[in-house]
Amino acid sequence: MTNRIALITGASRGIGRACALALSDAGARVALAARNVGQLEELAGQIRSNHREAFVVPVDLASQDSIKEAASCVAKEFGPITILVNNAGITKDNLALRMKKDDWDLVIATNLTGAFLMSQQVLQGMMRERWGRIVNIASVVGEMGNPGQANYVASKAGLIGLTKTLAHEMGSRNITVNAVAPGFIETDMTHGLSQELKDKMLANIPLRRIGKAEDVAGAVAFLASDAAAYVTGHVLDVNGGIYM
């Protein structure tokens, strides 16, 4: 993927940050997108210090206008996007019985609709290039469900369905669309969990460890590479065996 331009959403921290670093190490020029521009600039500085190229662009995945503006800015100022990692996501947890519609709407808008709209923005360019890679960051809970996360689970299950449909539609254009479904990964999202809950989850993980963001990034880098040219519509589980 040398010199190909990869756009990573939610690149400011966690899995998105690890994906940006992995793709940069693999030779891609990386466009870093998120709401926190300060964190993006810090990451861009780190990448540039390794003599690689990075471009920072603010984006709010809950806003169609923001998505269009970000994609257009990257294409005009940095170059055609041929790798997209739809990573950005949020949670607004509650039991379904008590979940507010606003919390449902915001999670679906950001995690699912945002990924759909961003994919729309880059597909025309990928079709012109006759080469493209879209990697959607789903979740193990999108496959197995999880109490208290009806909105988040629905968004990730929907992302898997979107992945398979786009793979059907884009295959003849040499564009692959795949998903990575992380399990229990050590990120800012999981830092607040109690040790008791962590221990309970670890007991159900055959590899007996919490995953690292780099574990997910390695899978993303593979799916974005030429080595995965014959892989599309696939959901790659990176979950330590918690769901098989």
Q: For residue range 137-157, what is the model confidence (pLDDT) as tens digits?
A: 999 999 999 999 999 999 999
Distance CA 149, CA 91 (A): 8
Distance CA 95, CA 113 (A): 22
| pTM listed for this prediction | 0.96
**Per DSSP, which regions of the chain are E strands?**
5-9, 29-34, 54-58, 81-86, 132-137, 175-182, 235-238
**Burial class, 141, CB count within 10 angstroms (exposed 0-12 / middle 13-18 / buried 19+):** buried
Separation in Å, CA 89 to CA 22, 47, 62, 127, 221? 19, 23, 10, 26, 19
**Tokens linked to 207:** 């590899």
User: What is the sign, positive or negative, of the torsion defined by CA atoms of 240, 187, 33, 55?
Assistant: negative
DSSP 32: E
Element (H, E) at 47: helix 37-49
Distance CA 242, CA 232 (A): 23
Helices 114-129 and 150-170, interaxial angle, to 10°? 20
Q: What is the reported pLDDT for 196? A: 86
Q: What is the reported pLDDT for 197? A: 82
**In residues, how long is the chain?**
244
Give me the domains of the chain, ranges plus CATH numbers. Answer: 5-237 (3.40.50.720)
- Residues recognised as catalytic: 152
Q: What is the reported pLDDT for 201? A: 87
Which residues contact residue 120 at a Cβ distance below 8 angstroms, ignoring those fewer than 6 apart? Answer: none
Distance CA 10, CA 130 (A): 26
**Tokens linked to 57:** 């662009």
Residue % of the chain over a pLDDT of 70: 100
Please give the mean pLDDT across all residues of the chain: 96
pLDDT tens digit sequence for 52-107 = 999 999 999 999 999 999 999 999 999 999 999 999 999 999 999 999 999 999 99
63: number of Cβ within 10 Å: 15
pLDDT at residue 200 is higher than 90: no
Q: What is the reported pLDDT for 189? A: 65
Q: Are 186 and 206 in contact (CB under 8 A)?
A: no
